[in-house]
Amino acid sequence: MDVVTEAARVGLVAGATRGAGRAIAVELARAGYYVYATGRSSRTTGPSEIGRPETIEETGDLMAAAGGAGSALVVDHEDPASVAELVSAIEADQGRLDVLVNDIFGGDRYMEWDKPLWEHDWAGGLRMLQMGVHTHLITCRAAVPLMLRTAEAFGTRGLLVEMTDGTSQANAEFRRNVGFYYDLVKANVERIVKGLSAELEDSPVTAVGVTPGWLPRRGCWRTSASPRRTGGTRAASAPASPSPSRRRTSPEASPRSPAPATPSGGPARSSALADSPTPTT
């Protein structure tokens, strides 16, 4: 089979409601990828437990405004069935997946900066692991087989990007003053990269870790108890829905979302893979 053009390639940005995930989704769409952007906060189902104003549909609007094509989806990346349904839909609709960006977190509200393990809120700490580690594992497990099939079928190479906080050198030691569980989450993400790199070393898919550095953001990291940080990424996880169904709404209804034709099959669109507006807790 002939190698396809760059414009026909497909990316999944998991955790694209805001910040680095949103920016990556928009730029991949601008570059000609068909982009699936997922997140929890939605115009239709409401904000996630983080309580932030951004929505995943806004990301879809921005992809369209950049001249790109894609789908903005509400997906629960803590639910293996929902993620498997998402990947199946990507394969059915596009027949391939070339790039996966795992930028899912959103556990900032549970951080206790100055608490050691034995004083840190137990439920909040475990929630951070669910949001920042389990979601990445679930998404990789579902997406990597399709990435491998894509690379083999089209003679291309796939790229799996784990977004994290801090370089390998910075993460080599325990990071004080961020709380035990935050350090544990980011150390786990780096370990995911190491493990996947080893397991994919003879394959046409490459796993890398990326840290964007300090990202100033509305409403983040500035409480009376929180020290200034030197880096970090935040993203979305998703509302609970054991039996999701796809609902599509067109961003053309929004004056901020033009719908130009694109080489990869049409304008960006907003969708939902959820029937329930109730966020995961």
107-151 pLDDT, tens digit each: 888 888 888 999 999 999 999 999 999 999 999 999 999 999 999
Which pTM was predicted? 0.75
Other beta carbons less than 10 A from residue 263's beta carbon? 12
Q: What integer pLDDT is reported at residue 252 of this predicted model?
A: 30
Q: Is the pLDDT of residue 236 over 70?
A: no
Q: C-alpha dihedral over 161, 29, 73, 216, to 10 degrees?
A: 60
Q: Is the pLDDT of residue 187 over 50?
A: yes
Q: Is the pLDDT of residue 281 over 60?
A: no
- 80 phi and psi angles, rounded to 5 deg: -55, -35
Q: Is the pLDDT of residue 244 over 60?
A: no
- 234 phi and psi angles, rounded to 5 deg: -130, 155
CATH class, range 6-273: alpha beta
Domain ranges of the chain: 6-273
Q: What is the pLDDT of residues 11-46, one digit of tens each?
A: 999 999 989 999 999 999 999 999 999 998 878 886
Q: End-to-end alpha-carbon separation of the chain, Å?
A: 46
Of the pLDDT bands very low, low, confident and very high (cuts 50, 70, 90), residue 168 is confident
Q: What is the Cα gyration radius of the chain? A: 18
Q: Is the pLDDT of residue 58 over 70?
A: yes
Asked if 78 and 238 count as a contact pair (C-beta separation under 8 A), the reply is yes
Q: What integer pLDDT is reported at residue 188 of this predicted model?
A: 93
